[in-house]
Structure 1
Amino acid sequence: MSTAEVKENGWATSQISDGDGLGPGWRFWRRRRYVVAFMAFLGFFNVYALRVNLSVAIVAMTTNVNQTLDNGTIIVTRDFDWDSTARGFLLSSFFYGYIFTQIPGGWLASRIGGNRVYGIGIAATALLTLVTPPVANVSYYALLTIRVIEGLFEGVTYPCIHAVWARWAPPLERSRLATIAFSGSYVGTVVSLPLSGILANQIGWPSVFYVFGAVGLIWFVAWWIIVKSGPEEDSYITQQELKYIQDSLGATSNKDIVHPWKKFLTSPPVWSIVMAHFSENWGFYTLLTQLPSFMKDTLEFQLEKTGFMSALPYLVMAIVLQFAGHLADWLRSKGILTTTQVRKLFNCGAFISQTIFMLLAAFLLSPAGSVTCLTIAVGLGAFAWSGFSVNHLDIAPQHASVLMGLSNTIATLPGIISPAITGYIVQNKSASEWQIVFYMAGLIYLVGAIIYGLFASGERQSWAKEEIEIEMPNKSEQCYSNSTLEVDVP
């Protein structure tokens, strides 16, 4: 079995030709780290299914329908009389809570285990989703409150998964493991958007919340049983894989880590990640919350077809994300590009392409043209996720969960601002109003590309290196004396 030495952030990492000696890579179930990635994939599937179902359900909840009275009179009615502005605030209310638990979630995950906080966050959101229909019938403000609380619980998910990867992901597998997990977000969107449309049409909008809430709780039980905080706690992991992970990462634990907040807030690479995350989420959340309405109002798709067409961009992204993650790690492991070059190339290339296709969608505004351009724009975002989304682990792995919490806090603002702004802009549901929405998203992508290209880094930062005291042999005295060295602590 051949091995190769690969320099990664100053460390010589022994990369075994077949990974960890457990056979072909496609047998993922033999590798517990890939079982964790698959379960995280299903977790993010639920995260987004629970988040986006309202985007389709709200169309059914506010659509006019014919109702026949007992005397035979036909009247036009709808379940909820919410205007465009009210719908915009309702769709963005989730993020009012989501933004507040990003950093606390990362901090908590670094101490008690990312797997626990991740699971509880999704389970609580699923439970609240189950009670959404009766709450909606109580009042608009009661529903608004429930969505805010759901956001509070889901806010911990992204920071927590970085705490999981800090203990499970070998450095040269970070991109692929992270993108496997993150792709669940888009598969969840792909499934939940059309399925929500079918459920709303065939059974009624309350079924949308009952189905996805129940699925989320079932996943939680499986996650709690299968996934452990670290590989050393997993009774089913092989000794080969455990040694491979531990040799790659060194000793890891949920010890009390001192987070250098001043260094975080004054670090250009950190702020380049924050801006990239903000830019990607602006376009993503704009489409995630508004695409069903755009399809129905401007492209004149029916509700059931709206769900399928709205899901198409995320299907493409889920597929491309797998390719992008593997390509990023391959380029790094072969020494073709450095980590910094890979992150910048993938992120900036995606953003510039997304800018172009967002602007094309604004000009075309035809069913075929708009769907094609938006599908390509969203799909190319997969390369950006192989750039900024794992960059926290490159520059400061021991602080990655908190850094993800920081970047995702700022990146949550688009989820609050974008739907509200779109609600104000799109008053008459005209094509020209939607053009403004797409122009704005394209401009923000372009700004994100410039900032990330200038300031991003794939190297471990100086403030992420700690001084530890180790024993070194003193040749002159043939005894041991203590010396202090600065080393990279994973």
Structure 2
Amino acid sequence: MASLVELKPTAENSKFSQDIQTEKKLRKVPTLCSTRYGIAFIIHFCNFTLKAQSVILNITMVTMVNSNRSQMNGSAKRLPVDLLDGLNDTVKSFPMRGSAFGGQFALWEKWGPPCERSRLCTIALSGMPLGISIAILLGGVISQALGWPFAFYIFGSLGCVCCILWFVLVYDDPASHPWISVTEKEYIRSSMTQQVSFSKPCLPVKAILRSLPFWSMCLCGFSHQWFVNTLVAYTPTYISSVFNVNIRENGFLSALPFLAAWVVGVLGGQLTDFLLTKNFRLVTVRKLATVLGTFPPSAFLVGLPYLTSSYITSIALLTIACGLCPFCQSGIYINALDIAPRHASFLMGASRGFAQAAAILSPTVCGFILTQDLEYGWKNVFLLAFAINLAGLIFYLIFGKADVQDWAKERKLTRL
């Protein structure tokens, strides 16, 4: 553990020391009531809606199948719910979702002071587990009480509200925002003087494709999304098949792990920025957060099939496993802002789009495993998620960086 906290006079430490000094000089700048935090909460709501709309497909699909079951023939009646889940996750993996995540990171290039990026990004990203939990919690209730079409009406209306808030309140940078205070605008500008370039950067595609730190983000993000999508798609099915609980109770139990993930997601960013104020190396903090969000959750998930006799212990492990996942929001998911702040939106869109392939492959592969061997299917599904998650983590620990890469630095031309 001593190697994890070893302090060295690196460029990244010097950069964050300057950022912290800037923050101390401007303590009068508002935080939670500020414009930048307001934007973080708007993105939080957008991510909430984006994820809730995805998950609601899984829930309403089951209701739609049950409502039309009387019109189906015998073979259609036996259509596995797991395969339906796989089909739904394929639908929700359109490339536009990768661009949606990349687009929000373009804002933090101009709006996120380096000493606050972890907490701002995690506030925004924590809307995703909250969206999952609310969709699981209310989706079945809405479908039973009002009918499954109303689930689409309600969550679709939330998407319209998100669009209105975005168009009215979100601006590209502090300089163009009409309601930001002068003090906050100066604070953001001063803290990002060394990182933000106002010239249009040229995207070094070849250098990016040859960059191991970039690929470490992609592969670790893919492996982590495989694990997360396994939890999202199969947590309700696992609870139902193992513990034989009713639909309403299943909804509450399935939502509990993602409520824990929402809380940890918000607190994780606070912890990360706190460690940076204590002069921890930035790369150490990023990798430590990624380890906490990948290895313990995978290990807990592997132990679940061996604890089927203990109902309370199984639910507790499942909740802890899901709750620890958002630590990665302070690790790999904002690492692009460290290695290439001028190209962070492209890197995040590309890496997130690459990771979203797991939303297609994970339910499909896991559904096939469960249909082939029901007795040992859950063990194999969870063991596979552990192996993939561990492989991505190891690759990131070896090749991940947190300093600005040479290909991402601004080139200044001089004449002799």
Cα 1:435–1:388 change in 2 (3 A) is same
State the match for 1:16 in structure 2. Answer: 23
**1 or 2, which has the higher helix percentage?**
2
State the match for 2:110 in structure 1. Answer: 167
Q: Deviation of residue 81 (structure 1)?
A: 4.6
Cα 1:77–1:49 change in 2 (3 A) is farther
1:83 and 2:86 are equivalent in the alignment = no
1:410 and 2:354 are equivalent in the alignment = yes
CA distance in 2 between partners of 1:351 and 1:321 (Å): 14
Pairing of 1:319-398 with structure 2 (within 5 A): 319-335=263-279, 337-366=280-309, 367-398=311-342
CA distance in 2 between partners of 1:33 and 1:91 (Å): 35
Cα 1:284–1:326 change in 2 (3 A) is same
The answer (yes or no) to whether the contact 2:226–2:385 under 8 Å persists in 1 is yes
Unaligned runs of 5+ in 1: 1-5, 68-74, 99-151, 471-481, 484-490
State the match for 1:262 in structure 2. Answer: 206
Pairing of 1:51-200 with structure 2 (within 5 A): 51-63=54-66, 81=77, 83-84=79-80, 86-98=83-95, 152=96, 154-200=97-143
Please identify, of 370-379 and 252-261, the stretch whose mean Cα deviation from structure 2 is larger: 252-261
1:306 pairs, out of 250, 259, 283, with 250
CA distance in 2 between partners of 1:87 and 1:359 (Å): 24
- Secondary structure (helix, strand or coil) at the match of 1:235 reads coil
Please identify, of 9-18 and 324-333, the stretch whose mean Cα deviation from structure 2 is larger: 9-18
Q: Deviation of residue 431 (structure 1)?
A: 4.7
CA distance in 2 between partners of 1:391 and 1:188 (Å): 24
Q: Per-residue displacement from partner, 1:367-395 (whole Å, max 9, x unpaired)?
A: 43332222111111122221111100000
Amino acid at match of 2:87: L
The answer (yes or no) to whether the contact 2:302–2:383 under 8 Å persists in 1 is yes
Cα 1:371–1:55 change in 2 (3 A) is farther
State the match for 2:50 in structure 1. Answer: 47
CA distance in 2 between partners of 1:347 and 1:226 (Å): 32
Aligned-residue CA RMSD (Å): 2.6
Higher relative contact order (CA 8 A, sep 6+): 2
1:203 pairs, out of 146, 149, 154, with 146
Amino acid at match of 1:56: I
The answer (yes or no) to whether the contact 1:65–1:77 under 8 Å persists in 2 is no
Cα 1:20–1:233 change in 2 (3 A) is farther
Cα 1:339–1:261 change in 2 (3 A) is same
2:37 pairs, out of 19, 34, 39, with 34
CA distance in 1 between partners of 2:108 and 2:66 (Å): 44
Amino acid at match of 1:393: L
2:225 pairs, out of 255, 261, 281, with 281
The answer (yes or no) to whether the contact 1:9–1:459 under 8 Å persists in 2 is no
Q: Deviation of residue 60 (structure 1)?
A: 2.0
1:315 and 2:315 are equivalent in the alignment = no
TM-score (norm 1): 0.76
The sequence identity of aligned pairs, in percent, is 31
- Secondary structure (helix, strand or coil) at the match of 2:51 reads helix
The answer (yes or no) to whether the contact 1:365–1:431 under 8 Å persists in 2 is no
Q: Deviation of residue 252 (structure 1)?
A: 4.5
The answer (yes or no) to whether the contact 1:328–1:342 under 8 Å persists in 2 is yes
CA distance in 2 between partners of 1:223 and 1:253 (Å): 24
Cα 1:411–1:365 change in 2 (3 A) is farther
State the match for 1:479 in structure 2. Answer: none
Please identify, of 212-221 and 255-264, the stretch whose mean Cα deviation from structure 2 is larger: 255-264
State the match for 1:249 in structure 2. Answer: 192
CA distance in 2 between partners of 1:185 and 1:89 (Å): 20
TM-score (norm 2): 0.89
Cα 1:428–1:445 change in 2 (3 A) is closer
- Secondary structure (helix, strand or coil) at the match of 2:172 reads coil
Q: Deviation of residue 257 (structure 1)?
A: 2.4
The answer (yes or no) to whether the contact 2:22–2:190 under 8 Å persists in 1 is no
**1 or 2, which has the higher strand percentage?**
1
State the match for 2:174 in structure 1. Answer: 231
Structure with larger Rg: 1
CA distance in 1 between partners of 2:157 and 2:203 (Å): 38
Pairing of 1:431-442 with structure 2 (within 5 A): 431-442=375-386
- Secondary structure (helix, strand or coil) at the match of 1:229 reads coil
Cα 1:186–1:254 change in 2 (3 A) is farther
Unaligned runs of 5+ in 2: 1-9
Cα 1:465–1:65 change in 2 (3 A) is closer
CA distance in 2 between partners of 1:377 and 1:399 (Å): 32
Cα 1:365–1:441 change in 2 (3 A) is farther
The answer (yes or no) to whether the contact 1:95–1:413 under 8 Å persists in 2 is no
CA distance in 2 between partners of 1:51 and 1:455 (Å): 32
Cα 1:298–1:212 change in 2 (3 A) is same
The answer (yes or no) to whether the contact 2:108–2:117 under 8 Å persists in 1 is yes
CA distance in 2 between partners of 1:94 and 1:76 (Å): 23
Q: Deviation of residue 403 (structure 1)?
A: 0.6
Amino acid at match of 1:407: S
Q: Deviation of residue 202 (structure 1)?
A: 1.7
Cα 1:464–1:350 change in 2 (3 A) is same
- Secondary structure (helix, strand or coil) at the match of 1:298 reads helix
Q: Per-residue displacement from partner, 1:224-258 (whole Å, max 9, x unpaired)?
A: 11111111111111111101111122384785421
CA distance in 2 between partners of 1:225 and 1:20 (Å): 29
The answer (yes or no) to whether the contact 1:160–1:401 under 8 Å persists in 2 is yes
State the match for 1:213 in structure 2. Answer: 156
